[in-house]
Chain A
Amino acid sequence: MAFAGVDVLSFLVFAPAIGALIVLLLPQNKWLARWTALAMASVIAGVAVATFFAYSATGNQMTIQVPWFELLGASWHIGIDGISATMVLLTGILTPLAVLISFEIEDRVNTHMALVLFFTTGCMGVFVAQDLMIFFLFYELSLVPMYFIIDQWGGPNRKYASTKFFIYSLGGSLGMLLATQLIGFTAGTFDIPTLTQVWPSFAGLDGVFLGISVETVKALAFVGFFIAFSIKVPVWPFHTWLPDAHSEAPTAGSMLLAGVMLKLGAYGFIRLVIPLFPDVWVMPIDILGIATTDWAHIFGVLAMLGIVLGAFAAYGQTDLKRLVAYSSVNHMGIVALGIAVTAYVYSHQVLGSVAEGAMNPTQDAIFAANGAVIQMFNHGLSSAGMFLLAGAIYHKTHTRDMKQYGGLWVKAPIYGAIFIFTSMASLGLPGLNGFVGEFLVLRGSWSVFTVLTIISMLGLLFTGAYILKGIRAVLHGPFNMHWRDYNLEIDLREFIAIAPLMVLMVIVGIAPNWLLSVINGTVTRLLGG
């Protein structure tokens, strides 16, 4: 499949970068820059949607493999499976909406638009990469534009937030770079499909590599990836960069950050950490001689803590954007729980051992993995929507302090209805998108991590609490007469930007199978169900 003479995936990766360059070189005219960027983003979205629907059956498709950095054994190898296709779709959809929301930026418009487009290149690159070097390259590439977006166009505390975000992410990436090199050097290739075959059974010479036992090498590489992706997801307790970065970023930045960037981490777990390290995931770890556990269980516990403490922390906020930001910790915790279950079962499957507790492990893992991926998509929709709405009200009132709001539903009936709708999608109301992912993950984790699942319900309970707190603070109560002469109703532009998200929330909630069947095909193939 090709578009404009280039294969479609390469187009999706490079078109945004070229678009960014064009926008950058355009004369400094706000109108021109905005509409050019929107036009490009819309084309990219169209191609992404077409790509998703062109993807069929299972297996890697639309693959291209061109020699690239032969000295290292890296090649321009790209392709998508059902999981990548879903993520490409999500990125494609959110890009034009973020551009549309960026219309509210008045300062250095060309640069801002270029950065937003450039960010898309980074994310698309990660999602289509079939080569570890390419993956790493784009993974890092996505960080830079986001840093500048926060640092230059963010809120009052943006310097702190952007620095924390950048250093933290980069710190994680360092370990990942080492792990990448270690794997590439050891296995002699960076090709992900090949590595998936070779690496788990790699034993070196007599179990020793470079004078270090292969087990240690693998564990080190695992930890490198694990921490890098955990920071990105973010998994508790690596999450504290997120509330700062999200709340200080401009609206479009928050949308992309929550909507797409967090998915890079979860995608990394699914694409790399689960298939490459089955032996490490379930390697027994001794805790001070008191108990034995393994990485899968540790990850499950961290996921549970993310769900529960993320919900509590969100409930404790007084700043609307921080509340929404913490909701990401809560929701991505569910993704992490699904990943933990999948990792646990898949590893036992590969090693031929028994996953304890599971009634029907393969089926459980399929549910959990399906749930994790569709929850990634759903969180992309609802968190982007929530940040859009938080940004919309911030843009009009210039405050994020929820105590300053109150009763805004009186003057903003349409905004209020949309706010409640999106909040409910975020809360996981059955019938809207969020529930599908939650249900699947819970179904998958129930028999594998029963106790963790039960404790996680406390988190889901408090998801309700913080969502209702948000609605109550913004919309309910007597109208705050301070805003008497403000126009608080949602703009037409903002409405157009959120409308596609709302439509998708309903569609995925009521009839998820157009999306789920694609994910399920790949997940079932990977897990051999």
Chain B
Amino acid sequence: MDLNTFISDPNLLPWLIPVGPLLAFVIISLLTNRSKLIPATSPKYGGHHPDYDGMLVPVVTDLSRVVTIVVGMSGIVAAWLISLRVISLAVGLPDFGHDVLSSSLMWMSTGETGFRMGVLVDPLTAVMLFMVPLACTMIFIYSIGYMANDPRQSRFFSMIALFAGAMLTLVVADNLLLLFIGWEVMGLCSYLLIGFWFEKESAYKAAIKAFMTTRVADMIMLLGIVYLYASVGTLNFRDIMYNPLPAAEGEHVMVVEAEAAATEEAAAEGEHAVVETWASQLGATPALILGGWGVSAASLIGIFIVIGTIGKSAQFPLHVWLPDAMEGPTPVSAMIHAAAMVSAGVYTVIRMYPLLEAGGHPHDGVFTPPLLLMAFVGAFTALFAATIAVAQNDVKKVLAYSTISQLGFMIAALGIGAYIAAAFHLITHAFFKALLFMASGAVIHGMEHGEHHVHAHAHGHEHDEPHLLPAHTAEHEGHADEHHSADIGDEEAEHGHFDPQDMLNMGGLRKTMPVTFITFLIGGLSLAGFPLITAGFWSKDEILADAWYGTTHGFGPHAFVFVLLAIAAFLTAFYTMRQLGLTFWGEPRSEAAKHANLGPGTGVVAIMMTLPLVVLAFFAIFAGFVGVHPDFPILGGLFSGAGNPFHDFVGATLINHPEGIPFNPFPVLVSFAVALGGLAVGWWMYWRVPLQAGQPDPLVSILGPIHTTLRNKYYFDELNDILFVRPSVWFARAVAYEFIDRGIIDGFLHLIARVATWIGDFIKMLNLWLIDGVGDGIPELIARTGIWFRRLQTGRVQQYMLLLALAVILIGIIFALSTGVLQAAP
């Protein structure tokens, strides 16, 4: 099959989407990542790296930077263009949703059948294909500027290319296994990128934490995949959740038996007479374990998959990795938090929704265990993370917790059956959160620039990149030690522990960074759900509307979700306003803030870093208008004259199109109230009277000890450390290795060895005394009869004979015993 076939056949074209970034990864890694060795003290070796005293370190060459950027950009832009082409082809299908673009090939043979790998473009995929490559492209452009001074820029590009490739693989996958491959490769990329500045302790620790926390969930999810595969013999999304069941085969006896029950149930419910799929059938099959408690196979598989998402999308209690993931370069944060990683988690549960829902009808108040799990975890996380975000001073940490909180909105929405609303919020959130992260990155970059400016002026010597973060450690050894520590002392005396991410050091940045301010403001308002004109409002409103609809029917989980999300939305608006106020309003609270900027407005860095902000700001506003409720006053008629476009489009993904809910003004009013209320309180506290330098955050005095708890994230890291990390380390070293392996097993072996040695020595001794004694003794006896006779009188022979007799007796005993043993043998 040549390339032309791929391009001309719409069903094959989706294969090419991830190829661009993946190819870019390979090319950059193998060919264009070229470094030259220069002294570590050189200004070119800047960024977040310690300066190794006089050592030569590899720094990427200028040519490599340019070529790498070209390759990386080509890869992602190719993916973007192909995605657009695929979307247009897909939308052109007569009955898109029922008809899809798909193709697959035999991947591995297992027995007489095999596993097929393939791609699938259905409406849900199409929506993701609109968002992911666009956001990724923006992140790539931004990285050109953000990483321009990093000595390992090429490596960075190869990693984010792999990241994007993996995410696109996940999106176009037609089966859970390929999705899982993309999922895990992204896990690797996030590990590598969070730990990109690998010399920093905080960075590599955060990387390990991210990988391990998500791995806990991934392993459980893998069980779900294995269980699903074992149950139905396929992992293909359409085969499991869309295509009607083939005629019953003899193979899956257990499932087939359950079919009858499922059909009866469906018939009894009448209005929900649905097409039988594997998913609905699994919903009527008792689970392999816990089946006795009324858990269906679909539910158990669903719970496993939801746990996977709880890890990947950083939901309580596996949320701990995400705030620490801020240690990576900011484009990575945008990648993880918006375009790729965490979205993948939510995407997966949206994708698997029919399975999770199988056997339940959330719109009728019938919940399955995985749905309940999602509703409670999601709603709780949304509120929990929002409270923590209120007390953070790090500009990126606030956003990190807001991501956790917003993902909680989506998960909770799915838990109450608001399938469309979850997908909608996923898309709008991706745009405004990517925007916010990149804008915050611009702020940090600006602050670092300002700090450098101040430093250069205050000390009057050129030093291109200041070492803003205390990346030095005293672990360096060897002859350079003394000199180096002196150096560290010097540097720290000059810089102190200035933190360019601390919002308390900022203030007044609107003056020096106007574009960043305006785009940040747009993103922030969208996050806060500023009514009517921002995308965030429409998607969040739809979730609340769904929750309210269930509440009015008296369903507990809906009410729970509605109340918690409403409070969380209020807090979201508040902390957003706080963040905006602390960062941009008032007067600069440090010298660095006074001089913060992105360099000359026409410089590569400034352009590359602000262009994506502007593009994303556009979507942060307008992406919401595709999902306006048709009955919404005025705007509904304007944007959704022929029905809610987003709802109808994405709804076609499911075999049973989800029904829209009637318009109700109450949740809209609540949306208005919480968004505007939160913004107003934030304004009142942080904009009306801006914070002065050295003045503590007014929240500290208001909340008192609660604030300390919040700032310390409810001490969750400490708890994990005590409960899981330390016991594991202790168990591994002390129990598994020292005690079991070295102590018991090796101890036993050594005991055997010692006994064997002892027996060997004993036999050797016998040899010496007995055989050698007799053998050598006889000639000696003859030769030295005279002497022997003389010795006889000394009485030594008695001794000798005694020994001899003893030996004979011993041998006799052994003989007797061994024959006895032989006889006794069975």
Contacts and interface: CB of A to CB of B under 8 A. Distances in A.
Interface string A340-372: 000000000000000000011011101100100
Contacts of B746: 240
Interface in A483-497: 484
B181 A431 contact: yes
A457 interface: yes
B635 interface: no
A313 B732 contact: yes
A402 interface: no
Contacts of B753: 167
Interface in B458-501: 471-473, 475-478, 480-481, 484
Given A312-B732, A411-B57, A465-B212, A366 B110 contact: yes
B740 A478 contact: no
Contacts of A435: 181, 184
A252 interface: no
A524 B113 CA distance: 10
Contacts of B177: 430, 439
A479 B52 contact: yes
B104 to A, nearest CB: 13
Given A431-B181, A464-B211, A413 B35 contact: yes
A315 B732 contact: yes
Interface string B221-262: 011001101110100000000000000000110100000000
B192 interface: yes
A100 B42 CA distance: 39
Grouping DSSP codes into helix (H, G, I), strand (E, B) and loop, the A interface class, with mixed when no group exceeds half, is helix
A268 B191 CA distance: 39
Nearest to B179: A430
A345 to B, nearest CB: 12
Contact of A512 (B108, B111, B252): B108
Interface stretch (B193-201, B395-403, B623-631, B798-806): B193-201
B716 interface: no
A159 interface: no
A513 B109 contact: yes
A316 B738 contact: yes
A298 interface: no
Contact of B749 (A240, A477, A479): A240
Interface in A444-494: 446-447, 450-451, 453-454, 457, 460-462, 464-465, 468, 472, 475-482, 484
Interface in B20-79: 29, 35, 50, 52-53, 55, 57-58
A239 B198 CA distance: 35
Contacts of B233: 363
Contacts of B29: 417
B749 A168 contact: yes
Contacts of A317: 737
A447 B53 contact: no
Nearest to A366: B111
B745 A240 contact: yes
Contacts of B212: 461, 464-465, 468
B666 interface: no
A407 B199 contact: yes
Contacts of B211: 464, 468
A212, A314, A442 — most chain B CB neighbours (10 Å):
A442
Given A360-B252, A424-B188, A480-B475, A446 B227 contact: yes
Contacts of A360: 230, 251-252
Contact of B181 (A239, A430, A479, A529): A430
Contacts of B733: 315-316
A366 B114 CA distance: 11
Given A420-B192, A442-B226, A478-B473, A516 B288 contact: no
Interface string B648-691: 00000000000000000000000000000000000000000000
B289 interface: yes
Interface string A392-436: 000000000000001101110100010010001000011100011
Contacts of B199: 407, 410, 476-479
Interface in A252-277: none
A413 B29 CA distance: 11
B484 to A, nearest CB: 7
A417 B35 CA distance: 14
A468 to B, nearest CB: 5
Contact of A484 (B50, B185, B480, B734): B480
A83 interface: no
A481 B177 CA distance: 44
Contacts, number: 202
B390 to A, nearest CB: 33
A364 B475 contact: no
Contacts of A240: 741-742, 745-746, 749
Q: Bin the interface of chain A by size.
A: 35 or more
B106 interface: yes
A484 B52 contact: yes
A447 B35 CA distance: 52
B582 to A, nearest CB: 33
Nearest to A367: B110
Contacts of B742: 240
A479 B729 CA distance: 24
A479 B476 CA distance: 7
B376 interface: no
Nearest to B52: A479
Contacts of A80: none
Contacts of A436: 108
A216 B109 contact: no
B639 to A, nearest CB: 41
A443 interface: yes
Contacts of B734: 316
Interface in B299-325: none
A461 B484 contact: no
A472 B734 CA distance: 21
B303 to A, nearest CB: 13
Given A240-B746, A316-B733, A484-B52, A407 B198 contact: yes
A316 B219 contact: no
A176 interface: no
B198 A477 contact: yes
Given A431-B184, A477-B201, A316 B109 contact: no
Given A359-B230, A429-B188, A468-B212, A309 B53 contact: no
A517 interface: yes
A443 B230 contact: yes
A237 interface: yes
A476 B195 contact: yes
B699 interface: no
Interface pairs A-B: 7 shortest CB-CB: A312-B736, A316-B732, A316-B733, A316-B737, A315-B732, A430-B181, A476-B204
29 contacts: A167-B753, A212-B826, A216-B826, A237-B745, A240-B741, A309-B741, A313-B732, A315-B736, A316-B734, A316-B736, A316-B737, A359-B252, A366-B110, A370-B110, A410-B52, A420-B192, A430-B177, A446-B230, A447-B288, A462-B732, A468-B211, A477-B475, A478-B50, A484-B52, A513-B107, A516-B109, A517-B108, A520-B110, A524-B111
Given A316-B733, A478-B199, 11 more contacts: A239-B741, A312-B736, A364-B230, A407-B199, A410-B199, A460-B219, A465-B732, A478-B471, A480-B476, A481-B52, A482-B478
Interface of A: 164, 167-168, 212, 216, 237, 239-240, 243, 309, 312-317, 359-360, 362-364, 366-367, 370, 406-407, 409-411, 413, 417, 420, 424, 429-431, 435-436, 439-440, 442-443, 446-447, 450-451, 453-454, 457, 460-462, 464-465, 468, 472, 475-482, 484, 511-513, 516-517, 520-521, 524, 529
Interface of B: 29, 35, 50, 52-53, 55, 57-58, 106-112, 114, 155, 177, 180-181, 183-185, 188, 191-192, 195, 198-199, 201, 204, 208, 211-212, 215-216, 219-220, 222-223, 226-227, 229-231, 233, 251-252, 254, 288-289, 471-473, 475-478, 480-481, 484, 728-729, 731-738, 740-742, 745-746, 749, 753, 826
